[in-house]
Structure 1
Amino acid sequence: MNTLSYGLLSLLSNSADSGYDLMRKIQPFWPAKHSQIYPLLAQLESGGYVQHTLVVQSDKPDKKVYSITPIGKEALRSWLTEPACEPNTRDELVLKLYCMEQGELADIRRLLETRVAYSQDKLAWLQAKLEVYSLQQPPPPLGTLLLMKKAEYHFESDLSWSEWALRQLVERQNQEEPNPR
């Protein structure tokens, strides 16, 4: 099985869900599309790792709600003992900054300003979510809190770096502008 398969089993270990809901829930951890999720769910089901129940809906097409089986739980427990792969970082902004001298500083500035705004928005959302979680009784699973905190640290770091990079760019722009006489 691939990592996405284990990711689906991970999500199903907490609650039964439809393929669509699984696709939405896995996005913060692993970018995946419908075209990947539904075939994997069929494979997991044919392997006995998950099963589905059909939910009849009158106003929409019927949907399959998947749940993890004992075989799926055992596979998940086994996977948890294996070392994790190295983190995979893919950030298009990094590539654009590497070759930024080929473009206009004003364009790069807009890219950095956009990243600052994005990081601020994500951070505000995460902090609000963590505040809600802190009040829940019983508290959410520890794994959920650990992941939310990791995301918070990530966006704090990205925001700090983006603001610093933007200041560096503005300083460079100011140095390159001709002095009016």
Structure 2
Amino acid sequence: MNILSYGLLGLLTREESSGYDLMLKIQPHWQAKHSQIYPLLSKMENDELLASRWVQQSDKPDKKMYAVTEKGIEKLLGWMITPVTAPVTRDEFNLRILCVGIAEDGSMRRILNERKNWFLERIRYFEDLKSRIPQDNLRVGSREFGSYILVQKGLMNAQTGIEWCNWVTQLLDGQAAIQDPCPSNSEN
């Protein structure tokens, strides 16, 4: 099984879902397309990690709903105790920033503004997700607690990204001295 399979199982521990709903729910955490998700669901169903049922709809095509089985939960719990791999960073923005020494000031500002706007959009996106989590589920032990703390992580990352863009803009404008904005803290 791959990591996406475990993520899908994890989402299904919360509620029965269609493949399309699973794709939407996993997007904030893992980029996946229909073409990846549906074959995994089929394989996990064949391996008895999932069960499914068809739901008839009058105004749309029938949809297949998936639920995790006890065998699926056992598989997921086994994965949960394995070590977590290091995160993978693959960001075109970072590669472009490596090249700023040869770029004109205008292109650097354009790149920064584009990324700042992206961070602002991410904040709106995560605020919307946060507003959908019922207040009584914002507690340790609830099924939605993981979603809540991950939404908060997304918000914090976006806010930090905006701060970084503002800091670099201040450097470009000569309003900030080139110094380490985050001195090391040896207590961590």
TM-score tier after normalising by the smaller chain length = 0.7 to 0.9
Residue 152 (structure 2) aligns with? 149
Which residue is equivalent to 1:177?
A: none
Counterpart in 1 of 2:93?
A: 93
Runs of 5+ unmatched residues, structure 2: 176-188
Going from structure 1 to structure 2, the CA distance change for 1:90 and 1:76 (only over 3 Å counts) comes to same
Q: Which runs of 5+ in 1 are unaligned?
A: 173-181
SS in 1 for 2:171: helix
Aligned equivalents of 1:55, 1:103: Cα separation in 2? 56
2:136 paired residue number: 137
For 2:92 and 2:173, the matched residues in 1 are separated by: 21
Name the one with the larger helix percent: 1
Identity %: 39
Q: Tell me how far 1:118 sits from its aligned partner.
A: 2.1
| 8 Å contact kept, 2:137–2:145 | no
Q: Is residue 151 of structure 2 the alignment partner of residue 161 of structure 1?
A: no
**SS in structure 1 opposite 2:9?**
helix
Offset of residue 49 of structure 1: 0.6
Distance 2:58 2:42 in 1: 24
Per-residue CA deviations over 1:23-58 (Å, capped at 9, x if unaligned) read 111111111111100110111111111111111122
* SS of residue in 1 equivalent to 2:136: coil
| Total equivalences in the alignment | 171
User: Alpha carbon RMSD of aligned pairs, Å?
Assistant: 2.1
Contact 2:9–2:76 (Cα < 8 Å) also in 1: yes
Q: Is the Cα contact below 8 Å between 1:12 and 1:66 reproduced in 2?
A: yes
For the residues of structure 1 that align with 2:52 and 2:160, how far apart are their CA atoms?
41
Distance in 1 (alpha carbons) for counterparts of 2:37 and 2:118: 27
Partner of 1:118: 118
- CA–CA separation in structure 1 for the residues paired with 2:129 and 2:65: 26
Compute the displacement of 1:163 (Å).
Answer: 1.4
Q: Check whether the contact 1:113–1:166 (CA below 8 A) recurs between aligned residues.
A: no
SS for the counterpart of 1:31 is coil
